[in-house]
Amino acid sequence: MDFEKYVNKLEFPKRPIRPRLVGTTAKSAKEYTLLLDQYEIDFTAWTNQNIKYHIHEKEVHEMFDKDAIDELELNDLPQWQKDRLLSYAWNESHSGGYSEVFNMLQELVMLLKE
């Protein structure tokens, strides 16, 4: 399997920092309201980017699941068994990346077929 295609190519969005009120003058309060207005715009944009990032991440994950099932020829299994295998493999080894998840799936399949 080519694990490079399971890399999320979108940049993780950087969350904007909420401004702080500095000073107690009318001028600083006015500047603060302008900064807050810009923050609200930036936060909305960040929220939308964050949603897009996570949707893409989910699509990549689902593509991996489908490809792994096809590669390991598990299409004949009931969906609940495929889900359990994928979930177990993910929980046990996702910190090592998709290649480690796939290796775990291979080990589980070998146990099933013995």
Please check whether residue 55 lies inside any domain of the structure.
yes
Round to whole Å and give the CA distance between 37 and 102: 47
Rounded CA gap, 20 and 41, in Å?
16
9 within domain boundaries: no
Q: Cα dist. 29→26, 34, 41, 42 in Å? A: 5, 9, 19, 20
Residue 4 within any structural domain of the chain: no
Q: Does residue 94 belong to any structural domain of this protein?
A: yes
Q: Which residues contact 60 (CB under 8 A, 6 or more apart)?
A: 6, 7, 8
94 within 8 A of 103, measured Cβ to Cβ: no
Per-residue confidence (pLDDT) for residue 23, from 0 to 100: 84
Number of separate domains in the chain: 1
Integer Cα distance of 75 and 3 in angstroms: 20
pTM of the entire predicted model: 0.79
Each residue's pLDDT expressed in tens, for the chain with a length of 114 residues = 889 899 888 899 999 999 998 888 888 899 999 999 999 999 999 999 999 999 999 999 999 999 999 999 999 999 999 999 999 999 999 999 999 999 999 999 999 887
Q: Which domain holds residue 74?
A: 24-113
State residue 9's pLDDT score: 87
